[in-house]
Amino acid sequence: MLVSTFGAAMISTEALWGVLSDKIGKDTVLAIGMLSMALITPSYTLTQWMPFLFALQFLRGAMGVAGGPASRALLSDLAPTQKRGSAMGMWYTTRNLGQMVGSIVGTYIATATTFTYSFYLCAVSSTIGGTLVLTGLRRLSPGENSEKGPSFQSVRKMLTTKPFQAAFALAIILLAGNTLVEAFLPIFAIDLTGATTTDVGISLATFNIACVVTTFLLGRASDKFGRRLTTAIGMTISAIAYLSYMLVTSLPQMLLATIGAAVGFSLAGPALLALLIDITVPEEYGTAMGVYGVFEDIGVMTGPLLYGFVWESQGLTSIFYASATLEALGVALTLMLRRNKKQ
């Protein structure tokens, strides 16, 4: 329930932060999110009273998600058209790297001392980040505080416009497919290969490291070969990687399949974000990223539910067919978009 509360907060507020980043400035929203987290995270050490923890989880989800649409919209302002894929690839790289470093440092501190100091470190990090935003980040495209500025009418328009609908549907597919590795690898690796806990840890670390490296290297692919083609190729590679898990009998083979999944995501993820920028007017970058983020969150939450249901009803191998089918639907949707553009 605590995790669900966190997810519900993200889904219910991310579009709002996107609109606000267009209205009051991306840097302002970034600072609000970071400085709020500096207050929220150490509050976990105050008590174990469940209603209080539920409130903190909601606040953490609602305030922590502010940085997603604001940072991606800020990059959209900065990146020239021909380098948008590279910019979004770099965004994924830095995000994944931050999560990796944070997990390693936080775990080390918790092991060496107590979890309390991990929360304090998070607060210090958030304070530094928020302060840097306020003092060193130039205000870009702050939006207009007028009736002509972005509003929830912009959200409604995006939700009823076919190119945006396709991009949002692809976000669900991409992130739901990705949860096969992030959420289910520790489970099916043991059933398929008899992997040890260490093997599972190595596989997950390989996926994270591969994502860090390949999003940086492959983000630029859509700048050279086109957004739709790169997205379709990435999802095709992901589908093949997911199906290949059925053939895995050893740790090296599992690592190879996992790297394939990372490569597929690293091609499709930045390309899809760059495509979203291409179809959005600059005044609504934050709004578009906020709505897109909501659908990403939906994918992250529904993927495990889907795979869990399929596993229970059809067996282990069915989840690989299910994930590959999702990616195939994504490829078909991407190619239909390309065909419609020509028409």
- Backbone φ, ψ for residue 213 (5° rounding): -75, -45
Closest CA to 126 of 156, 150, 102: 102
Rounded to a whole number of angstroms, the CA Rg of the chain reads 20
The pLDDT of 35-58, averaged and rounded, is 89
**Rounded distance between C-alpha atoms, residue 308 and residue 198, angstroms:** 24
10 Å CB burial of residue 100 (0-12, 13-18, 19+) is middle
Answer whether residue 140 shows pLDDT above 60: no
Q: Distance (Å, rounded) from C-alpha 283 to C-alpha 238?
A: 33
pLDDT at 85: 95
Res 327: pLDDT: 96
Helix or strand (DSSP H, E) at 7: helix 2-24
* Tokens 């932060």 -> residue: 17
Rounded Cα distance, 39 and 84, in Å: 34
> What pLDDT, on a 0 to 100 scale, did the predictor assign at position 145?
45
Residue keyed to tokens 């702050």:
142
Asked if residue 61 lies in contact with residue 16, where contact means CB atoms within 8 angstroms, the answer is no
pLDDT score recorded for residue 339:
46
Mean predicted lDDT score pLDDT of the chain? 88
What's the pLDDT band for 110 if we cut at 50, 70, 90?
Answer: confident
Please name which of 113, 111, 130, 109 lies closest in space to residue 39, comparing C-alpha atoms: 130
pLDDT at site 107: 81
Cα–Cα distance measured from residue 231 to residue 228, given in angstroms and rounded to the nearest whole number: 5
Least confident of 164-168, 185-189, 255-259: 185-189
User: In terms of Cα–Cα distance, which of 294, 242, 237 is closest to 271?
Assistant: 237
Residue that has been written with the tokens 């599992």 in this structure: 254
Quick one: which of 186, 169, 176, 170 has its CA closest to 304?
Answer: 176
Q: Where are the alpha helices (DSSP H) in 25-161?
A: 26-40, 50-64, 67-78, 84-112, 115-136, 152-159
Look at residue 66 and give its three-state secondary structure: coil
The Cα–Cα gap between 290 and 286 comes to 6
Q: How confident is the model at residue 143 (pLDDT cuts 50, 70, 90)?
A: very low
Per-residue model confidence as pLDDT tens digits over 206-255: 898 999 999 989 999 999 999 999 999 999 999 999 999 988 888 889 89
Distance CA 294, CA 273 (A): 13
Tokens of 148: 């002509």
- Closest by CA position to 207, among listed 158, 256, 171, 248: 256
Query: How does pLDDT run across 324-343, given as a tens digit for each residue?
Result: 999 999 999 998 875 444 33
Rounded to the nearest angstrom, the gap between the alpha carbon of residue 257 and the centroid of all alpha carbons in its chain is 21
Mean pLDDT, range 40-64, rounded to an integer: 89
Burial environment of residue 293 by CB neighbours within 10 A (0 to 12, 13 to 18, 19 or more): buried
Helix (H, G, I), strand (E, B) or coil at 79: coil
Angle between helices 26-40 and 67-78 (to 10 degrees): 150
Structural domains in the chain plus CATH codes: 2-134 (1.20.1250.20), 152-338 (1.20.1250.20)
Summarised one tens digit per residue, pLDDT across range 59-99 is 999 999 999 999 999 999 989 989 999 999 999 999 989 88
Q: How far is CA 51 from CA 2, 26, 40, 57, 315, in A?
A: 10, 32, 15, 10, 38
